[in-house]
Structure 1
Amino acid sequence: MIPIRSIVVSAVLLSEFDGQFKILLMKRVKGRFWSHIAGKIESGETASQAIVREICEETGIQVQQLYSADYLEQFYEASANVIELIPVFAVYCDKQQAVVLNDEHTEYGWFSLDEAVEKAEFGGQRLLYQYLWENFVNRQPSALLKINTY
């Protein structure tokens, strides 16, 4: 048997630069790969509270427009012998959003979809970025997916 675990949340942040949306990716210290934001849910937090906290901790960004991405990242974590299910959130940031990294990352960049897909280490990341682009950049997301952050 392989247990299913869901203790992590993730988010893809979008910001406009010269009229074009870009995806925020950060290079992790641990593993040294490019990724979107992710972190563990702390005791007493909802998934949306956890991702708002993680975004602030990792980037200094105060979330104003949070959406459920209506997507679950899923993968097998061999070291723990579990299947991870991670709810994904989408965040619209201010235009040309500034980022202040914490010590979990060495660098960051705002990337086009093609650039983000090229930098993605894992196939699941590439699928996520393409899905998010289709449903949050190419079309307006459903208002039913919007989450109040206050």
Structure 2
Amino acid sequence: MIPIRSVVVSAVLFSKINSEFRMLLMKRVKGDFWCHVAGKIQANETASQAILREICEETEIQVQELYSADYLEQFYEASLNVIELIPAFVGFCADDQQVILNHEHTEYKWCTLSEAQALVPFSNQKKLYDFVWQNFIDQTPEALLKIK
């Protein structure tokens, strides 16, 4: 049996950089790979509270709009022998959003979809980015997914 665990949340952040939407990727210190915002849910937090805290801790960004991405990241974590299910969120930031990284990341880039997919190592990241770009950039996000 493989346990299923859901203790982490993630978010893809968008900002209009020079009037065109870009997504934020950051290079993690641990693992030395490019990724979006993610972190563990703390005691007594909802998933949306946790992701807003993580976004602020990792980037010092206050998102203007937050949505459920209507997407679960999933992968097998061999070191723990668990299947991780991670609710994903989408955050819209101010135009030309500034980023101040914490100690968990060494650099960041605001990327087009193709640039982001070229940087990330995992196929599930690429699927997530395709999905959110299609459902939140190429078309108007579903209003019912907006988190108040």
Report the residue type matching 2:57 in the other structure. E
Structure 2, unpaired ranges of 5+: none
- TM-score of the pair, normalised by structure 2: 0.99
Aligned length: 148
Report the residue type matching 1:86 in the other structure. I
The equivalent residue for 2:46 is 46
- For 1:27 and 1:133, how far apart are their aligned partners in 2? 20
- For 1:97 and 1:128, how far apart are their aligned partners in 2? 22
The Cα offsets for residues 62-107 of structure 1, whole Å up to 9 and x where unpaired, read as: 1220000000000000000000000000001111100000000000
The equivalent residue for 1:137 is 137
Structure 1, unpaired ranges of 5+: none
- TM-score of the pair, normalised by structure 1: 0.98
Q: Percent identity?
A: 65
Report the residue type matching 1:138 in the other structure. D
1:122 aligns with 2:122: yes
Report the residue type matching 1:121 in the other structure. P
Report the residue type matching 2:38 in the other structure. A
In the TM superposition, structure 1's runs of 4+ consecutive aligned residues that sit over 2 Å from their partners are none
RMSD: 0.5
Contact 2:7–2:40 (CA under 8 A) maintained in structure 1: yes
Cα distance, 1:15 vs structure 2 = 0.5
Report the residue type matching 2:141 in the other structure. P
The equivalent residue for 1:31 is 31
- For 2:89 and 2:20, how far apart are their aligned partners in 1? 20
